């Protein structure tokens, strides 16, 4: 890593934008290393990441800055996609290429291993399965990380837990150094899976199922929820942005929330009440699937109080490869587009109400510009084109 003194920080006069940064984590870096670099580049200590990516893996790491760190819990729970290289023929203590080999298959056993057998074993590891996490995972055992116990020489056995492998697609199978006398069989694959799935454990279990042992040779994460490599920035790119006098490329918290959650557009009064921790009326479900608390129009084209249903606006990867936002809180927006809170409906069926579960814009007052115009006053920020905007004041 570069010496800390050579890492630029943004000028004090520049705003610290709350949002998500999609980083293409390089090999050899821990997720915490990336967070430390972003703290420097973003000029704030309030930075966190949405799920650890091992030093031996590269690819998408979603980092939150300022208030957007509040969204990271929900990003962590989304599905992920990986490009993986699995080596059959040797099991290791860490289930990856960095660990010592504990068992190696004979060349004649590997020569007899057919592509059809590999594909059949892959099919058995697809869908809802029970997976035993790798012993070198960060799962705590009696208050201590499992990998720390393994490093001490302890034998750690973790219980199996349910995970879902939505996709396990094999792109190629090759034999090294030759088909006649292979010492290893390499499987190149794409895996899309639920949060908490260990790809190294998949590699281990594939080798076990085939009776030859196996481990993860290389891994690159290509997607976390709706965030992909195409949206990502390398650390060098982010560093140059700041060195050139700018700030790191950030997906604003409002835009990030619209991509992660179902959306409800609020009227100014609703936004004010929710911002101050008060309950508001629950959205009413319409036959078409959308829901609405009232019919006022907002600048987004969705009625104030409307909720885009999970089926109509699904976030790719949040549940299964096609994505779904069902069961998540709703992102509630004021008429001016400000993210007020994440909220959910509660109460009995005949007395449902909406309440905040995570405040974003707390203690704000939102004023509908059109209401001020009707009383004869020109609302600050009101447009000449008749669009509704809001005035905000903090108490």
| β-pairing verdict for 140-141 and 330-333 | unpaired
Can 188 be counted among the known catalytic residues? Answer: no
For residue 90, what are the CA distances in angstroms to 28, 180, 211, 299, 390? 23, 18, 10, 60, 63
Structure tokens at 212: 């030859």
What pTM was estimated for this model as a whole? Answer: 0.82
Question: Residue 97: its pLDDT value, please?
Answer: 94
Structure tokens at 270: 């609703």
Beta-carbon contacts of 299 under 8 Å, excluding residues fewer than 6 positions away, are 335, 336, 337, 387, 388, 389
Catalytic residue among 24, 54, 96, 205: 54
Beta bridge partners of residue 117, listed in sequence order: none
Count of CB atoms situated within 10 Å of the CB of 166: 19
Count of CB atoms situated within 10 Å of the CB of 271: 29
Rounded CA-CA distance 272/365 in Å is 5
Sheet containing strand 263-265, strands side by side:
263-265, 330-333, 339-346, 353-359, 280-281
Chain position carrying tokens 């939505």: 166
pLDDT in tens, the chain (395 residues): 555 568 999 998 888 888 999 999 999 999 999 999 999 999 999 999 998 899 999 999 999 999 999 999 999 999 999 999 999 999 998 899 998 999 999 999 999 999 999 999 999 999 999 999 887 777 777 777 777 777 667 777 788 999 999 999 999 999 988 877 899 999 999 999 999 999 999 999 999 999 999 999 999 999 999 999 999 999 999 999 999 999 999 999 999 999 899 999 999 999 999 999 999 999 854 333 334 444 443 333 344 444 443 333 333 444 444 445 567 899 999 999 999 999 999 999 889 999 999 999 999 999 876 544 454 444 444 444 443 445 555 44
Phi, psi angles (nearest 5°) of residue 198: -105, 120
Distance of CA 367 to the CA centre of its chain: 34
| β-pairing verdict for 90-92 and 101-104 | antiparallel
Structure tokens at 110: 């590997």
Rounded CA-CA distance 311/209 in Å is 38
């Amino acid at each position: 890593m570069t010496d800390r003194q050579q890492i630029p920080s943004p000028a004090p006069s520049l705003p610290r934008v709350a949002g998500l940064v999609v980083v293409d984590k390089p090999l050899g870096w821990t997720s915490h290393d990336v967070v430390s670099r972003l703290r420097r580049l973003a000029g704030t200590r309030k930075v966190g990441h949405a799920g650890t990516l091992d030093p031996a893996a590269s690819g998408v790491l979603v980092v939150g800055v300022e208030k957007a760190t509040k969204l990271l819990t929900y990003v962590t729970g989304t599905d992920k996609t990986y490009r993986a290289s699995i080596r059959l023929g040797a099991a290791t203590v860490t289930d990856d290429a960095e660990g010592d080999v504990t068992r190696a298959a004979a060349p004649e056993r590997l020569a007899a291993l057919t592509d059809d057998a590999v594909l059949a074993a892959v099919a058995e590891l697809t869908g809802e399965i029970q997976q035993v996490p790798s012993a070198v995972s960060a799962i705590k055992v009696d208050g201590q990380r499992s990998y720390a116990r393994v490093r001490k020489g302890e034998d750690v056995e973790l219980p199996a837990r349910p995970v879902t492998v939505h996709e396990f697609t094999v792109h190629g199978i090759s034999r090294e150094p030759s088909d006649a006398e292979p010492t290893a069989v390499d499987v190149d694959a794409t895996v899309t899976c639920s949060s908490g799935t260990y790809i190294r454990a998949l590699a281990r279990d594939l080798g076990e199922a085939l009776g030859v042992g196996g481990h993860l040779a290389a891994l690159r994460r290509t997607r976390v929820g709706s965030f992909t490599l195409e949206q990502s920035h390398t650390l060098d790119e982010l560093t140059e942005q700041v060195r050139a006098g700018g700030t790191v490329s950030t997906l604003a918290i409002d835009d990030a929330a619209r991509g992660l959650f179902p959306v409800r557009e609020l009227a100014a009064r609703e936004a004010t009440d929710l911002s101050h921790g008060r309950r508001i009326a629950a959205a009413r479900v319409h036959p078409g699937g959308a829901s609405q608390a009232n019919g006022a129009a907002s600048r987004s084209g969705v009625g104030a109080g409307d909720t885009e249903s999970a089926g109509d606006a699904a976030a790719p990867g949040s549940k299964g490869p096609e994505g779904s936002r069902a069961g998540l809180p709703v992102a509630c927006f004021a008429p001016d587009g400000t993210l007020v809170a994440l909220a959910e409906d509660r109460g009995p069926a005949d007395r449902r109400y909406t309440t905040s579960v995570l405040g974003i814009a707390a203690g704000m007052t939102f004023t509908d510009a059109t209401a001020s115009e009707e009383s004869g006053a020109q609302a600050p920020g009101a447009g000449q084109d008749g669009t509704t905007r809001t005035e905000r004041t903090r108490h």
